[in-house]
Amino acid sequence: MKVQAQICMVLNLDKCIGCHTCSVTCKNVWTSRRGMEYAWFNNVETKPGVGYPKSWEDQEKYRGGWVVKNGRAVLRHGGRAAVMSKLFSNPSQPQVNDYYEPFTFDYERLKESLRTRTAPSARPYSLVTGRLMDTVKDGPNWEDNLAGPFAKRRADPDLRGMDTAGFEAFEASFMYYLPRLCEHCLHPACAASCPSGAIYKRAEDGIVLINQDKCRGWRQCISACPYKKIYFNPARSKSEKCVFCYPRLESGEPTLCAESCVGRIRYMGVVLFDASRIDEYACADEKELYEKQLSLILDPNDAEVIRAAREQGVADSFLEAAKKSPVYKMMKDWKIAFPLHPEYRTMPMVWYVPPLSPLGGQDIPGDFFAKLDQMRIPVRYMARLLTAGDEKPIRRALMKLMALRAYMRSKTVEGCEAPAVPPELGLSTRQYEDMYRYLAIADYEDRFVIPTAPAVHEQTDLFSLRAGLGFEDEEGCRTLFGGR
C-alpha cells in the first residue's frame, strides 16, 4: 500500500445557479494576460449542450484520455511514435472555431463620440486580429440557459442514443449547470503525453502542474486531456492550465473559484488514496471504474492507513485534515458524489453531487416530492456524465438526497422530532443531520478543510513546492518519453 494525499473538490450541482462568479474571478486572476484571452480555466456550462470547447466530450473526435489494449491502459491519442508523428500536425487538437474568437467592444467610441442624431454603439472587435467584427457568433457560454434551438443542443455527446423527441417541448425540457475546471487526475493523460516531461503531479498534495521552463509548446497535452482544460498561449508558446490556486492552498486557503462561489456549492478537503493500485484499476471494466476509483480512497481513521501514511512521508497536518474532510464524507461515507466521465480512465479528483429536478408534467396532488423517474433530468443522462452509464449509483444517491429532503420536511414543517429514515439506503439519523448541515448552507470551516503546506510547519522555503518558476519536477515522475 502506497499512501498519498490529494487535495480535491466536490461541487453540489443541486445548488449551482449559473452566475459565473467563479469563472470571472478565475479569469481576472489567472487568464487576463495576453495570449490567454480565449482561455477559461474555470467555466460553467449549461447541460445538455455541446460545452466549451465544442463537443469536448466527443473522444472519437478529440482522442483524449486512455483506452485499454492487451490489459494495459494506453493513450487514446497514441503511443510514443504516434505522438512524435503529430508534433507538427495534430488533427485531433481543438481549433479556434471550437473555442471562439475572443472579443471585446469598442467602448472608446462611446466615450469619445460627438453628439449625433442616433445613439452611438460599441462594436465588437477581435482580440486576436484587432479588427472590427461584423457580429459575435460564439462564446464560452453561448448556450447558457438553453439558449438557441434544441437542434444544436442535440449534438451533446451524452444525448447519443437517447430518445430526444419530447425534449423540445417545455414540459419535458431539462437543464442544469456544470462548472468545470482541471480535474487534477490520479492518472493524468496530459502528463504521460508531454514530450518535454513538463507536466507532473505534486506528491505532497496531488496538484497537476506544468513546469513553464520545460514546456516547449508541443500541445500534445491539449489533445490528450479528455476534459480539454489545457490551453495554449500563443504569446508565450507555452501550454497553461488551472493550478488549483496552489499558492492559496499552501497557506490553508481555498481556490478562488471556491472562495467566491455565491451558491456555496464547492467543498475542498484532503483524501488519502492507495497509489499502488492506480495502474491496475485504470484498466477495469468501464462500468466498474467508479467503484474501483472509490476503493482507492482510504479510511483516514484506520490506524494501519495512518501508520503507512506517516512512514511514507504524509504530513500530520494532512492526516488530521483528512479526518475532517467534507469531500471524503460525500465521496466515501455518503456516496453521493461522483467523478466526471470515469470512462476516460484518468481518475479525476473533482467530483460532483448530481442535481435533483422538478417534476416533469403536472404535480402529483398530495405528493411533495417527485418520484425518481418523474424528474425532468433523466437518470440515464446523469449516469453517462458521472458513472460511465451505470445508473445504480446515481439512483441510490438521488434517493438519499430525496430522503434527506423528506426527513427535514418532516422535522421542520410537520414537527416530527425523530423522523423515520429508510434503512435500505444505509444512512443513520446522524448522517442525515450531517448531510443537511453540509449540503444546505454550510459554514466556511465545514466546506473548506485545507492543511497548510508541510514547508510552513518546517519553516523551509515554499518555492521548493512550486512549479512553473523553473524548479525541477518530482523524482520518479514517469512520462510517455521516459524523461523528467
The C-alpha atoms of residue 407 and residue 422 are separated, in whole angstroms, by: 10
pLDDT band at residue 474 using 50, 70 and 90 as cut-offs: very low
Which tops the pLDDT comparison, 272 or 108? 272
**What integer is the mean pLDDT of 271-296?**
95
Q: What is the pLDDT of residues 228-275, one digit of tens each?
A: 999 999 999 999 999 999 999 999 999 999 999 999 999 999 999 999
What integer pLDDT is reported at residue 370 of this predicted model? 58
In the chain the first and final C-alpha atoms are separated, in Å, by 25
| Size of the chain in residues | 484
**What integer is the mean pLDDT of 11-25?**
96
Closest by CA position to 253, among listed 404, 456, 392, 63: 456
The C-alpha atoms of residue 259 and residue 9 are separated, in whole angstroms, by: 12
One-letter amino acid of 379: V
What integer pLDDT is reported at residue 365 of this predicted model? 42
Q: What is the pLDDT of residues 307-352, one digit of tens each?
A: 999 999 999 999 999 999 999 999 999 999 999 999 999 999 999 9
Q: What is the pLDDT of residues 133-147, one digit of tens each?
A: 988 888 888 888 887
Give percent of the chain above pLDDT 70.
Answer: 90
pLDDT band at residue 466 using 50, 70 and 90 as cut-offs: very low
Q: What is the pLDDT of residues 194-221, one digit of tens each?
A: 999 999 999 999 999 999 999 999 999 9
Does the structure show a pLDDT above 80 at 402?
yes
What lies within 8 Å, CB to CB, of 15 at 6+ separation is 263, 264, 265, 439
Yes or no: say if 8 and 34 are a contact pair by the CB < 8 Å rule.
no
The answer regarding whether domain 1-92+141-356+443-479 maps to CATH 3.30.70.20 reads yes
DSSP one-letter string for 263-291:
T--EEEEEEEEEGGGHHHHTTS-GGGHHH
Which tops the pLDDT comparison, 449 or 115? 449
Does the structure show a pLDDT above 80 at 26?
yes
**What integer is the mean pLDDT of 469-477?**
38
Q: What is the pLDDT of residues 28-85, one digit of tens each?
A: 999 998 999 999 999 999 999 999 999 999 999 999 999 999 999 999 988 877 777 7
Which tops the pLDDT comparison, 419 or 323? 323
Does the structure show a pLDDT above 90 at 461?
no
Range 270-298 burial, b when 16+ CB lie within 10 A, else e = bbbbbbebbeebbbbeeeebbbbbbebbb
What residue spans define the domains of the chain? Answer: 1-92+141-356+443-479, 101-137
The C-alpha atoms of residue 419 and residue 408 are separated, in whole angstroms, by: 8
What lies within 8 Å, CB to CB, of 130 at 6+ separation is none
